[in-house]
A = this chain, B = another copy of it.
């Protein structure tokens, strides 16, 4: 074993791979935005609270500030290419879901839509947003959750069904034992 120093600004590459999600939001004009994230995790069980880190100028951040709501949609490997299309910066107000060919479903409790192909959705109300370093840390309470039946087994995510896309960094992902790269 030989230990070497690793640049601290690349610490995010060590804490990997992380679940990839697509966050859907709307602005006050009810225009839909969608974008992928992997800086997202649960921070409280009851009440159920999720933390999400987003760039302060990102349309997602802007929309959450405006409407105080968002939806976390899982990214099964089968929608990897569509997820990547949602990462492209479109003019503000343009709908990345349509561009990507993903299907919007109305949510149960919030105005932002769910993504049908995602298999699992967490509808969230904004609790708090604060600057942390170069990101905005967004804390949201899960107010409703839906899943495709059969994706949970003994209350655990059935990874063989969902094949969750895990983010390594940049354009590189992992699905189970396999490396996947978007273009």
Q: Which residues of A contact B (CB under 8 A)?
A: 1-19, 21, 39-51, 53, 72, 74, 105, 116, 120, 122, 132-135, 137, 139, 142-149, 152, 155-157, 159, 164, 166, 168-170, 172, 174, 176-177, 179
B9 touching A46, Cβ below 8 Å: yes
A47 touching B133, Cβ below 8 Å: yes
Q: Residue of B at shortest CB range from A41?
A: B41
Q: Residue of B at shortest CB range from A128?
A: B132
Q: Indicate whether A19 sits within 8 Å of B16 (C-beta atoms), given known contacts A42-B53, A47-B134, A156-B170.
A: yes
B152 touching A48, Cβ below 8 Å: no
Copies per complex of this chain: 2
Residues of chain B contacted by A19 (CB below 8 angstroms): 15-18
Residues of chain B contacted by A72 (CB below 8 angstroms): 15
Rounded to whole angstroms, the CA-CA distance of A156 and B1 in the bound complex is 19
B164 touching A2, Cβ below 8 Å: no
Q: Which of B1, B146, B170, B172 contacts A116 (CB 8 A)?
A: B1
Residues of chain B contacted by A137 (CB below 8 angstroms): 43, 51, 139
Rounded to whole angstroms, the CA-CA distance of A76 and B166 in the bound complex is 16
B147 touching A44, Cβ below 8 Å: no
Q: How far is the CB of A31 from chain B (nearest CB, A)?
A: 24
